[in-house]
Amino acid sequence: MGMASGISRPVTAACINPSSCRPRYHRPIFSFPQPGAGLNLQRLFFRSFHFRRRLPHSLGTSSEDPFAQRLGGSPSEAMSSFSSPSPVSYSEELAAAKKAALLASHLCQKVQKSIMPSDVQSKADKSPVTVADYGSQALISLVLKMELPSLSFSLVAEEDSVDLRKDVAHETLKSITKLVNEILSASDTYKLSLSEEEVLDAIDSGKSEGGPHGRHWVLDPIDGTKGFLRGDQYAIALAMLDEGKVVLGVLACPNLPLFSIRSTCDQSFNSEIGCIFSACLGSGALMESLNGSTATKVHVSTIEAPADASFFESFEAAHSMHDLSSSIAEKLGVRAPPVRIDSQAKYAAMARGDGAIYLRFPHKGYREKIWDHAAGFIVVSEAGGVVSDAAGNELDFSRGRHLDLDTGIICTNKKLMPLLLKAVQDSLKEKLQSPSTH
């Protein structure tokens, strides 16, 4: 008997969906950065010819400085105690990533509120893509370049402009350009208006191959496009690799409640939605409201007994094998039904302990992309969790646009991981031996 069948029905987006639980947009969605917080083009021009010296880590604010925190002293005390080279700081990059993801969230919210059939196309692999996917990618690439001007900019991102350059897509391109310009002009920060060609170029700057050397931004402009179209969960997922390692990540989840997703229907009917999670290597993971609340540190669930755990999986059965998750959960003795939501919002919810386990087992032949996991990986890792492939190996983001793994991805806290790995391997073995797989 599958675990899910014996207990209760899966918790799905139908329950969690903000549109079914409460008015979806009950708060003003536009709360842009303060004027002057960003850059204008003049400043951009200036900055691109004047390389800024990277601040040593210990010159960051003490609240976000693990180096100083470890020593229990002020940043300057921390600095004077060590003469060895300071660890690299990514605080400027993280701030830029948050700005970019915030603006992209506003664009996505605007589109999701009144999406039209003409806003949606089908890609070569038959998956949907919307004006918001393209607009979000253009906006983020542009904001990162403006905030962090340097000679090298590398972005590994999901979308490209091939289909948009076709004559039949001209109206779509016009809509995307209009959207991007509306968001930019409402921001009070970036006073510029892009041409269609500039929007196409901004989208196409996401063609980098990534790899083990140098710095690369990694972006999924809308992760969970199917959820986005249903009015459910989706995420804007942006991370940065440095020498093949994920060093920072931002997950904007415009429909995720500020309180536990599992309690949304029961208790927090009027709970605010829209969260942004961020993490920087060695500094923990933070959550704040998209409307700009104070950031709070988040931590994964500390549950040690699998019977008390609940697990996340894809809403779409085509994206992850629900029967395999059910068998794993049964072996572990998990009693709660699966919580099915779209996108890396699952990693975000994991990072604050809404659930204790995340299982992802795509069907045979699917190749995982780095942008589908990089931001989620660092947010959960910095919240104290572990993410690995189904054999317990760390995910390797240094091998280009894809993750080289063929089994699946699992995520939980450090205490539960050994038990989870055993259950996963037993279930995979059983699946291989089952007559239906031959």
Ligand X SMILES: Nc1ncnc2c1ncn2[C@@H]1O[C@H](COP(=O)(O)O)[C@@H](O)[C@H]1OP(=O)(O)O
Rounded Cα distance, 18 and 6, in Å: 27
Q: Is 167 annotated as a binding residue?
A: no
182 versus 323: smaller Cβ distance to ligand X: 323
What is the Cα–Cα distance from 55 to 408, expressed in whole angstroms?
39
Q: How many residues does the chain have?
A: 438
Per the CB < 8 A criterion, the answer to whether 374 and 237 are in contact is yes
Nearer to Mg ion, 313 or 372 (CB): 372
By C-beta, is 4 or 280 nearer to ligand X?
Answer: 4
Q: Binds 314, which of Mg ion, ligand X, none (CB < 5 to 8 A, cut-off by type)?
A: ligand X
Q: Is 243 one of the annotated binding-site residues?
A: no
Residue 339 identity: V
**Among ligand X, Mg ion, none, partner that 18 touches (CB below 5 to 8 angstroms by kind):** none
Q: Applying CB under 6 A, does 323 fall inside the site for ligand X? A: no
158 is in an annotated binding site: yes
**Six-digit token pair at 307?**
């019977």
Among residues 65, 133, 204, 232, the one annotated as catalytic is: 133
Alpha helices in 148-221 (DSSP H): 170-186, 196-204
Q: Which does 362 bind (CB under 5 to 8 A by kind): ligand X, Mg ion, none?
A: ligand X
Tell which one of 133, 372, 382, 389 touches Mg ion (CB under 5 A).
372
Identify whether the C-beta of residue 359 lies closer than 8 Å to the C-beta of residue 312: yes
* Only segment of 3-11, 200-208, 213-221, 311-319 that touches Mg ion (CB under 5 A): 213-221
- The verdict on whether residue 430 carries a ligand-binding annotation is no
Among 224, 274, 338, 408, binds ligand X (CB under 6 A): 224
Q: Which helix (H) or strand (E) holds 219?
A: strand 215-223
- Applying CB under 6 A, which part among 88-96, 139-147, 316-324, 328-336 lies near ligand X? 316-324
Burial class (CB in 10 A: 0-12, 13-18, 19+), 289: middle
End-to-end CA distance of the chain: 22
Q: Annotation-wise, does 378 bind a ligand?
A: no
Nearer to ligand X, 331 or 373 (CB): 373
Nearest approach in angstroms of CB 171 to ligand X is 22
Catalytic: 188? no
CB closer to ligand X out of 158 and 330: 158
Structure token digits, residue 115 = 């999406």
Helix axes 131-147, 91-113, angle to 10 degrees: 160
| CA distance linking residue 428 with residue 213, whole number of Å | 34
DSSP letter string, 129-161: EEHHHHHHHHHHHHHHHHHS--S---EEES--S
Give yes or no for a contact between 205 and 361, defined as CB atoms under 8 angstroms apart: no
Which residues, numbered 145-164, are part of the site for ligand X (CB under 6 A)? 158
Q: Which of 172, 225, 264, 412 is an active site residue? A: 225
* Beta bridge pairs of residue 402: 369
By CB under 5 A, how many residues form the interface with Mg ion? 3
Active site residue 266: no
Does 220 bind Mg ion (CB under 5 A)? Our answer is yes
User: Residues with Cβ < 8 Å from 349, sequence gap 6 or more?
Assistant: 256, 260, 261, 312, 339, 341, 355
Q: Which is nearer to ligand X, 132 or 356 (CB)?
A: 132
Chosen residue from 266, 302, 318, 434 binding ligand X by CB under 6 A: 318
* 225 contact choice in ligand X, Mg ion, none (CB below 5 to 8 Å, kind-dependent): ligand X
Binding region for ligand X (CB under 6 A): 127, 158, 220, 223-225, 314, 316, 318-320, 342-343, 362, 366, 372
Could you give the residue numbers annotated as active site?
133, 225
Binding region for Mg ion (CB under 5 A): 220, 223, 372
Binding residues: 158, 220, 222-223, 372
